[in-house]
Amino acid sequence: MKIKKVLVTGGAGYIGSHTCVELLQEGYDVVCADNFVNSSPIAMDRVAQITGKTIPVHELDFCDYPAVKKFFTNETVDAVIHFAGHKAVGESVENPLKYYENNLLSLINLCKAMGKDIRKNLVFSSSATVYGFPDQLPIEEDSPVDSFNPYGRTKLFIEQILQDIWATDNAWNISILRYFNPVAAHPSGLIGEDPAGIPNNLMPYIAQVAIGRLERLRIFGADYDTPDGTGVRDFIHVVDLAKGHVAAMRKLETSPGLMVHNLGTGRGYSVLELVNTFAEVNNVQVPYEIVGRRPGDVAANYASTDKAKKELGWEAQCGIRQMVLDTWNWQSKNPNGYSFD
Ligand code: WQD
């Protein structure tokens, strides 16, 4: 069926806001729902600035089923792209129950509410973390899955819940997208990654060191079995990632069913390569020190991208230089992210 109106849950977040931009620019009608626990309403003003289109924004906690049900009573959408959820690996280890309750209950409430409608088109934000410690590279979609932290397990459990729902009711059309390492920002510098507190992830940490908010980067381990000893990851530009969601939703219109795709570039870069490229391209200093390994880190992972290219007609376009340029453009224009304090 033709999809016209799309609900983006977590639409004020990092990947959600970038996906709202791409959907609007592709001519979709977009509605955003977010509880703003880990995002800012300012991001939606910026989306309007970029696209010239203002979208309805609902403050909504997907753990609140009566509120979710009310939303779907008042609003009719043709598809949902589901980003809403907690996503910090370290925090999930410290507080697993918070992650299981929030991430699983949000999804279950969403599916219960959607289940009452004929339009059951869902794109789910999963993660390469579901692959755990890969036994071969690049990682294919049919590689073994087994996650080693509560955050990753919520993604794994949700994937299984969606498989079970689809098995009992083929009226569902579901796309599961496994992201590798989302980085960078829209080239306008108006929207970008704005982590609460000290960043867990590498790229925002580098950017905050470069802008002077943090003193130096700690590189977790330089003794891995990789070309320069530091971790290797498949960094993917968030705009490419957003376009991947539009491609997946388009596929649901023509090919009903349940599908799983990696969203990566198929190319791994090491931590040191990223740091040095960031400094060189942006002509900034990124002081760092090598420290011990971070528990739970894999040495290397990067995606097989054949399936997404063949079935979705999508492949990442941006290289590492564009990623570091756009990251710095966002950070230097928004030294404190969306807050102005
Ligand atoms: C990348 C590399 C670190 C910080 C996680 C989640 C994954 C996804 C992306 C949500 C590793 C090194 C990092 C630092 C460092 N998130 N590093 N110093 O762990 O690959 O993936 O974020 O979906 O699900 O698991 O990303 O950016 O934390 O680490 O040396 O201060 O950078 O050791 O090699 P990761 P990351």
pLDDT in tens, 221-248: 999 999 999 999 999 999 999 999 999 9
Q: Provide the b/e sequence for 285-299 (b: ≥16 CB within 10 Å).
A: ebebeeeeeeeeebb
Distances (CA, A) of 279 to 105, 187, 212, 237: 42, 18, 13, 18
Q: Which one from 151, 205, 288, 302 is the annotated catalytic residue?
A: 151
Stretches where the chain sits below pLDDT 50 are 341
- Predicted confidence at residue 115, as pLDDT, reads 83
8 A C-beta contact, residue 295 and residue 221: no
- Predicted confidence at residue 19, as pLDDT, reads 98
Closest among 340, 159, 313 to 247, alpha carbons compared: 313
Three-class SS state of 103 = helix
Respond yes or no: is residue 338 known to be catalytic. Answer: no
**Closest C-alpha residue for ligand 1 atom 11:** 231
243 lines ligand 1 (CB under 6 A): no
- Predicted confidence at residue 245, as pLDDT, reads 98
150 lines ligand 1 (CB under 6 A): no
Among 14, 87, 89, residue to substitute to test ligand 1 (most atoms within 8 Å of Cβ): 89
pTM of this structure: 0.97
Among 201, 236, 327, residue to substitute to test ligand 1 (most atoms within 8 Å of Cβ): 201
Residues 6+ apart with CB under 8 A from 313: 247
The CATH homologous superfamily to which domain 5-184+236-264 belongs is: NAD(P)-binding Rossmann-like Domain (3.40.50.720)
**Closest C-alpha residue for ligand 1 atom 1:** 202
- Predicted confidence at residue 340, as pLDDT, reads 62
8 A C-beta contact, residue 40 and residue 194: yes
User: How far, in Å, from the CA of 114 to the mean position of ligand 1?
Assistant: 33
